[in-house]
Amino acid sequence: MFYAMLANQPAVAERVNLFVALAPVVHMTNVKVPFLTDFAGHTVSIADALRDAGLYEFMGVYWTKYSKDFCSHWYYKYWCDKLEEYTYSPTTNKYNYPERLHLNDKNSVDGISLRQIAHYGQVIADGYIADFDFGSEQANMQ
């Protein structure tokens, strides 16, 4: 977040002599994975659907409990199937090593909050890391 602030607020950047960060620096301008680019374009509707269902994270510890209902909906079934394929398929995702895929079921992952989902979509759409956009100048200033 500090990197985003320095990139977007020159007045703050002028006052910083040296900034060293060990966090990854990401540019999202060259995303080639079809699932990720498609997902980014639908993050608002996915986040809205989760919120409407009373769910405030995607994946996470309770995913197996509520995913059956959520993923049975005709629209979200596509995204759930693609997510599973991307997560577990060594042919869809070259970073999925077949000999390690069994570990995906053994280790529960942290969930993705609705705001993180929406922010991911904004980053893909804009092509650069920036603060979360709340949709209006007034909302962004709060």
Strand ranges in the chain using DSSP code E only, listed in sequence order: 57-58, 112-113
Is the pLDDT reported for residue 24 higher than 60?
no
**Of 81, 67, 85, which is closest to residue 58 (Cα–Cα)?**
67
Per-residue model confidence (pLDDT) at position 15: 78
Question: In whole angstroms, what is the distance from residue 81 CA to residue 87 CA?
Answer: 10
Please report which confidence band the pLDDT of residue 20 belongs to, taking 50, 70 and 90 as the band edges.
Answer: low
Tokens 């900034």 correspond to 19
Please report which confidence band the pLDDT of residue 10 belongs to, taking 50, 70 and 90 as the band edges.
Answer: confident
What are 64-101's pLDDT values in tens digits?
Answer: 777 788 788 877 888 888 877 777 676 666 766 677 66
Tell which phi-psi region holds residue 20, choosing left (phi > 0), alpha (psi between -120 and 50) or beta.
beta
Question: In whole angstroms, what is the distance from residue 41 CA to residue 126 CA?
Answer: 11
Task: Give the predicted TM-score (pTM) of the model.
Answer: 0.55
